[in-house]
Amino acid sequence: MIRPYFKDPMLEQTFLENGYVVIPFLESDELDKLKGLYEDCIPKDTTGLYASSLFNPPEVNRKVNAAIRDIMKDAVERYCEAGMLLGGSFLVKSPVNTYDLPLHQDWNIIDEQKYPLAVLWCPLQDTNEQNGTLYVLPKSHRFFVNYRSGAMPSKRVLVTEALKSCLKTIDVRAGEALVYHPALFHGSHPNLSDKMRVVVGGSTIHADSTLVYYHLNKDNGAIEVYRAVGDFYLNEISLLEVGEIPDNLELLDTFWVENIYPDADDLMEQIDPSYQRPKAVNLVASDNTETVGGRLWRKVRSLFGNNQ
């Protein structure tokens, strides 16, 4: 029997049903420590979408990751039965060169069909539509069984008029956490305020699961499952985000399946079985095309070491 992810059965039910939940997560001293860490380690002149794990040397990344894990571990233990924090990173959205990040899914890093897992999105200031909070497509984590990684990146799905009414913008207060399933389709609004939107992103997995990396072998079309150990995702992101893998990984499994890369029409068909696809309209960037900010977001897919 799989242990529950959360201690609270109602929280567990809501998360599994909707794919996300907002909780009062951090104590005031924990929030202050994260603000201090941000002030000490992160430059204040960033533009666009900035992820601390991508623009700092390894020693800084390890320091930030370990500090976030240490500061947030008690909060995770307060809420989680089997949820285990791997690590974290700062995600900053600047009002300079800001943009809407389209709907997408995050990488799956364990067997999602067997175990739950979650991303923690913890802002250091109140967030709303004006300053770049997230929007989600509720229950969409249950729409498809697919595999997502640097070798199999999620498409960025531009929001159509039909899809727009199905989305929900999530306001999150400082110290709260938006806890969402990586398979949940989500995006973020542009930051139209005059201040940085600073978020701590944390990666958690089920404590009984195995951390893995799903890789597409382009020579034979197989999906290969490799064991991910320690700070694998933090250390190897430069290779992973371009679809490559390091040498000497432990291969756990190989299988062949037609992977799914959903677009806006696929989502609408899941929401409304009577939906009719428009003719001759392509609303999603192709597999070989990046939307604005797309390459950076593929890098951010790393999430966060030992992490991820």
> Who's near 137: CB < 8 A, 6+ residues apart?
103, 163, 166, 167, 168, 184, 185, 186, 267
Q: What is the pLDDT of residue 60?
A: 87
3-state secondary structure the chain: CCCCCECCHHHHHHHHHHCEEEEECCCHHHHHHHHHHHHHHCCCCCCCEEEHHHCCCHHHHHHHHHHHHHHHHHHHHHHECCEEEEEEEEEEECCCCCCCEEEECCCCCCCCCCCCEEEEEEECCCECCCECCEEECCCHHHCCCCCCCCCCCCCCECCCHHHHCCCEECCECCCEEEEECCCCCEEECCECCCCCEEEEEEEEEECCCCCEEEEECCCCCCEEEEECCCCHHHHHHHHHCCCCCCCCCCEEEEECCCCCCCCHHHHHHHHCCCCCCCCCCCCECCCCCCCCCHHHHHHHCCCCCCCC
Residue ranges of the chain with pLDDT lower than 50?
Answer: 283-308
CA 232 to centroid of chain Cα atoms: 17
Angle at 139 between CA 3 and CA 303, to 5 degrees: 70
Please state, for a pLDDT cut of 90, what percent of the chain lies above it.
81
pTM: 0.89
Which residues pair with residue 213 across a beta bridge?
226
pLDDT at 244: 94
Give the architecture (CATH level 2) of 9-300.
Sandwich (2.60)
Q: What tens digit of pLDDT does each residue of 109-131 get? A: 999 999 999 999 999 999 999 99
Listing from the earlier edge strand, what are the strands of the sheet with 83-93? 20-24, 176-180, 117-123, 197-206, 83-93, 49-51
User: What are phi and psi for residue 162, nearest 5 degrees?
Assistant: -65, -40
270, burial (CB in 10 Å: exposed 0-12, middle 13-18, buried 19+): middle
Contacts (Cβ under 8 Å, ≥6 apart) of 48: 93, 94, 96, 97, 98, 99, 293, 296
Q: What is the pLDDT of residue 106?
A: 97
